[in-house]
Structure formats: structure tokens, C-alpha cells
Amino acid sequence: MASIDIKNVRKDFGPVSVLKGVDLAIASGEFAVLVGPSGCGKSTLLRLIAGLEDASSGEIHIGGRRVDDLPPRDRDIAMVFQSYALYPHMNVRDNMGYSLRLKRTPQARIAEIVGRAGAKLGLEALGERKPRELSGGQRQRVAMGRAIVRNPKAFLFDEPLSNLDARMREQMRFEIRKLHRDLGATSVYVTHDQIEAMTMADRIVAMNAGIIQQVGTPLELYDDPANVFVAGFIGSPA
Ligand code: ADP
Ligand code: MG
């Protein structure tokens, strides 16, 4: 696991300033939940950490090392999306092992790693299935399995549960926290769901219009919101 330090990061798309000087330090092992309204820059911040976009200015450090010039594959970070992004023609086992095959990991070793990840996620019986033969919750588990086989230093989750029904969301909230703890990972979890934020976060990072409004424990934000935006977000029903 590794700390993530974001130092005065700005991101402009043409004339539009999306991130307006973000400073954020996420501790090693922390589960940070990034909240804010649609369009405020949450996904952009994750993409910058993952290296899928370059910052316009500022610095990003992972595990104390500056990564701004490193390509995504060298950052040791795994991203989990809501859209699952599974390969439709591959079965569960091959979806999970794909990144290891690209790294030329020996077949027997891949089977061992994928087997262990599958057991953690309750996917043992589904190895031969194709994504279309899975429920939404099962697909989300495979997407998480694909992330954990790479043994990353950090996980970035971008609204991973938004396509699931309420009951499955509740179960997956619990499972994602458990995986985070079991793996000793550092996680940044994006959501616009107040309940996910309040129940999952070690600390909540509240963002609006490309500016971080407040960082604190769920209780701190609830008891002592820094401004009307934070109060409205934390206080309003899901
Ligand atoms: P969020 O995830 O909080 O909903 P995003 O980070 O996806 O917000 O987007 C923030 C803003 O940046 C939006 O106004 C969006 O239209 C804009 N944006 C995101 N990516 C691009 C891009 N590649 N080119 C131009 N504008 C973009
Ligand atoms: Mg987004």
C-alpha cells in the first residue's frame, strides 16, 4: 500500500478549468471517499491519479514517489468502474487473469492467483461463465477480481455500485470495505451517494466545482460542515 499526495493540481480542458488547485493527502491504508455533484471533477481527479490524463500543473506522488511522468502501467494502481468493462468473449477466469497474461506470468501462477482472488470474492463456481451469464453484482465482483490480481498499491473506484439495485449495493459496500482491509490497500472511492460516503469512509473529501470544500471523518462533516454546500450534501436524503 502507498500514500497518495496531490499537490496544487490543476486540470484545464481548453478554456474550461475543471480542477482548480487540488491539495489532498491520502494516508497509506486509508479509505477516502470523494463526493460531490455530477460534473465537479471527481472522475477527472481519479484519471489524473491513474495516469490516464496529465495534470495541467501540480504534482502527484504515490508512495512518496513523484509519478507525473510515469505511464499508467508503472503506477501500480487499479481502477474499478461502474461499467464493469469486462471482455465479453472471455470467461470469468480469463477476464481476471488477463493482465497477468500480458505480463507473461506463467500459466500455473496465474491459475493460483486468480483462484485465490476468486475465492475472496465468492466467484469459485463461476470461472467458466461469460460476463453476459452473470448478474450485475457478479460482474462487479469480477471487475474487482481483475483489479486485485495485479496486487496494486492503491485502488481507485469510480461510482462502482451505481448500476446495482439497493440490496446488492448494500452488500457490496460491506465487501469492498472488507477487501480493502484484507488487502491492506489504499483506496479512493468516488460516489455521489451520501449513504455510501457516510458508511464506508475513513475520511470524506467533499468537492464542488473543481475545489475541495472539506476533508474529514463522516462525523466531522456531519457535525461541523465547513459551508452550506457540505451541509447540503451530507444532510440531504440519498
Ligand atoms: P464528475 O466525475 O464529478 O461527474 P468529471 O470529472 O467527469 O466530473 O468532469 C468534470 C468536468 O470536466 C465536466 O464538465 C466534464 O464535461 C469535463 N470533462 C471531463 N473530461 C473531459 C474531456 N476529456 N474533455 C473536455 N471536458 C471534459
Ligand atoms: Mg464521474
Task: Give the residue whose CA is nearest to atom 23 of ligand 1.
Answer: 13
Helix (H) or strand (E) holding 19: strand 16-26
For the chain, first and last CA: distance in Å? 32
Q: Which residues of 107-138 are buried (b: 16+ CB within 10 A; e: fewer)?
A: eeebeebbbebbebbebeebbebbbeebeebb
Residues 1-25 have pLDDT tens digits of: 799 999 999 999 999 999 999 999 9
Which ipTM was obtained for this model? 0.98
CB of residue 210 inside a 6 A radius of ligand 1: no
Stretch 74-83: mean pLDDT, rounded?
Answer: 85
Confidence of residue 238 (pLDDT cuts 50, 70, 90): very low
Q: Over 50: is that where the pLDDT of 222 sits?
A: yes
Question: Which amino acid is located at 162 in the chain?
Answer: S
C-alpha cell at 60: 502527484
Residues 142-175 have pLDDT tens digits of: 999 998 998 899 999 999 998 888 888 998 899 8
C-alpha R_g of the chain: 18
Interval between CA 43 and ligand 2 midpoint (Å): 4
3-state helix, strand, coil in the chain (%, to 5): 40, 25, 35
Q: CA separation (Å) from 71 to 26, 52, 75, 76, 237? A: 21, 8, 7, 10, 40
238 neighbors 194 (Cβ within 8 angstroms): yes
Q: Over 50: is that where the pLDDT of 65 sits?
A: yes
Task: Give the residue whose CA is nearest to atom 6 of ligand 1.
Answer: 41
Q: 29 or 235: which carries more pLDDT confidence?
A: 29
Interval between CA 33 and ligand 2 midpoint (Å): 13
Query: In angstroms, rounded to a whole number, what is the distance separating the alpha carbons of residues 169 and 213?
Result: 27
Stretch 32-59: mean pLDDT, rounded?
Answer: 96
- Residue 44 CA: nearest ligand 1 atom is 6
Query: Considering only CA atoms, which of 209, 219, 146, 134 is closest in space to residue 179?
Result: 146
For the CA of 40, the nearest ligand: 1
